[in-house]
Structure 1
Amino acid sequence: MNFIDRSRGCLLHLTRFAALGLGAILLAACTTTTIDRGTYLADTRWHAQNADSRVRFLVMHYTEIDEAKSLRVLTTEGVSAHYVVPDAPDIEHGEPVIFQLVPENQRAWHAGVSYWQGTTELNAASIGIENVNLGPVDTPQGRGWQPYPPAQVDALIRLAKDIVTRYNIPPTRVVGHSDVAPQRKIDPGPLFPWKPLYDAGVGAWPDAPTVSAHLAGRDPAAPVDVLGLQRKLARYGYEIATDGVLDDRTRRVFAAFQMHFRPRDYAGNPDAETEAIAEALLDKYAGTELPETRPAP
């Protein structure tokens, strides 16, 4: 008889191997199933331990169009996202209704050319959430931003908290499109609710006392060394040159970081407060979840 190829054989071998300490392993093998896939049988009784989920990042976006157009574009054109959170979600049985467009185990086309913490092309390793929001809005008083309504924020928190819990996504890997593609994108914008998400257990945020300690009485707007700030943001996860040159590409990365963690001022200037925030984040997260090394941009 072949080795544990039938349930009867499993029971016989289970008795024989129990004394060798292999009973638990064999029992697990015996209780799994065979799947008929039409032209072959898949025996799933053995499970590799060296495996993990493809989902390692959560990427936030805004749609820049209304709900109806968002659903049409994201289901019929060359872009997609796993979820769309309406700006005014329907409520059923006391819970918000969120649109799921792509199964989580499949790739959605939401991040494009992207980079975070050494990983490129985040479409293959992330879940993408689109939030219905117009983003920048021109008014008679100048350019402004559409806010995220409380009902939408509540729905987003529920969704994001569920995702990061199920996939054990670390706080520093909950990011915006502007974080992973700062040369191309500015969504989800300066009004995105990063702090409420953090308060609910989703994403990263610096501790205010640590920021103050690193600021050490300096003027928050005081200029700082460009190379030093580049290196800190590269260590945190951004794709940024570390050459000490304050060019447009570096400014866009500084601005993306500021939009995420200091949205009241995201001009892209290398100032003392930005440096203090970066240092506070590294103090908080570098020892537990940031890769030790990254390829040079």
Structure 2
Amino acid sequence: MTKLHLGVATLFACILTACTTMQDRTTYIADTRYHAKNADSRVRFLVMHYTEIDEAESLAVLTGNQVSVHYVVPDAPRIEKGEPVVYQLVPESKRAWHAGVSSWQGATELNASSIGIENVNLGPIGEGKWQPYPPAQVDALIELSRDIVARYDIPPTRVVGHSDIAPQRKIDPGPLFPWRALHDAGVGAWPDDATVAAHLAGRDPKAPCDVRALQDKLKRYGYDIATDGVLDEKTRRVFSAFQMHFRPSDYAGDADAQSDAIAQALLDKYFPN
């Protein structure tokens, strides 16, 4: 390459660089060539919900004026090009109105720091009965969730249900939500069975445990809960939310040995220090 050609190439590269770093925003120009190191993503949590209504009603409500969410996973996703189709209603860069008054791991106003996924599911369908999540829906949810947590590096303990972050007023996504399947696919937290058994140490799973100790463990894990040793209705709702997530066979809200063992196993696994 001649010196002339080299000079032209260098000039062209400089012009190209300027064009890509200088953004004309009509009333001013932003020079974007410098990048700060101290920054992180808006997205720190992934929150799961169910809609309690069918697909058509869900889309109508979630595109209305009251509430919104980033994604909706149909109960029977259509397939295009061999892949399930989910609905994206809000760009991930924007806040959706799905979490409401909420708290997790000391963070509040989770709308501002989370992505919300609504799953089309009726929730309670009778006394003690809940609508299952069909396998096709679970598969689509896994693919969507796995993509989100990978892109934003969301830790397992920050993949939560609406009932986890707002236990005093919400019960979704319910006891049939596939938390363990998500964990096995690389999304969210789950205790190791052997560690739970070790902490249970032969106790009757339903045997009473110390209320304050269980409150303290759940607070350390992320729940907004008092640590006063009182098993009142507020504490029961938190215990129930925890049990619905990690022991869906019994979510009565009692302070029992198995719940205590599960909570300690989760702390051992995800917060060893």
- Which TM bucket (shorter chain)? over 0.9
- Pick from 272, 276, 280 the counterpart of residue 265 of structure 2: 280
Q: Distance in 2 between matches of 1:287 and 1:56?
A: 21
Q: Distance in 2 between matches of 1:77 and 1:175?
A: 25
In the alignment, structure 1 residue 151 sits paired with structure 2 residue 139: no
SS at match of 1:156: helix
Q: Distance in 2 between matches of 1:237 and 1:62?
A: 21
Matching residue of 1:232 = 217
Matching residue of 1:208 = 193
Q: Distance in 2 between matches of 1:36 and 1:146?
A: 52
**CA offset digits 1:43-101 (Å, max 9, x no partner):** 10000000000100000000000000000000013100000000000100000000000
Matching residue of 1:20 = none
1:256: how far off? 0.2
In the alignment, structure 1 residue 217 sits paired with structure 2 residue 205: no
Consecutive aligned runs of 4 or more in structure 1 exceeding 2 Å deviation: 29-32
Matching residue of 2:35 = 47
Q: How does 1:96-115 map to 2 (within 5 A)?
A: 96-115=84-103
Q: Distance in 1 between matches of 2:222 and 2:171?
A: 17
Q: Distance in 2 between matches of 1:112 and 1:282?
A: 27
Matched positions, count = 261
Q: How does 1:96-175 map to 2 (within 5 A)?
A: 96-138=84-126, 142-175=127-160
Matching residue of 2:227 = 242
Q: Distance in 2 between matches of 1:243 and 1:260?
A: 23
1:182: how far off? 0.1
- Pick from 66, 69, 90 the counterpart of residue 81 of structure 1: 69
SS at match of 1:76: coil
Taking structure 2 as the reference length, the TM-score comes to: 0.93
Measured on the aligned residues, the alpha-carbon RMSD in Å equals 1.6
Q: Distance in 2 between matches of 1:46 and 1:77?
A: 39
Taking structure 1 as the reference length, the TM-score comes to: 0.85
1:287: how far off? 3.2
1:30: how far off? 6.8
The sequence identity of aligned pairs, in percent, is 76
SS at match of 2:118: strand
Q: Distance in 2 between matches of 1:67 and 1:148?
A: 14
- Pick from 239, 243, 247 the counterpart of residue 258 of structure 1: 243
**CA offset digits 1:250-293 (Å, max 9, x no partner):** 000000000000000000000000000000000000037xxxxx
- Match for 1:276: what amino acid? A
Q: Distance in 1 between matches of 2:92 and 2:110?
A: 14
- Match for 2:65: what amino acid? E
Q: Provide structure 2 residue ranges, at least 5 long, that are not aligned to the other structure.
A: 1-6, 12-16
Q: Provide structure 1 residue ranges, at least 5 long, that are not aligned to the other structure.
A: 1-7, 13-28, 289-297
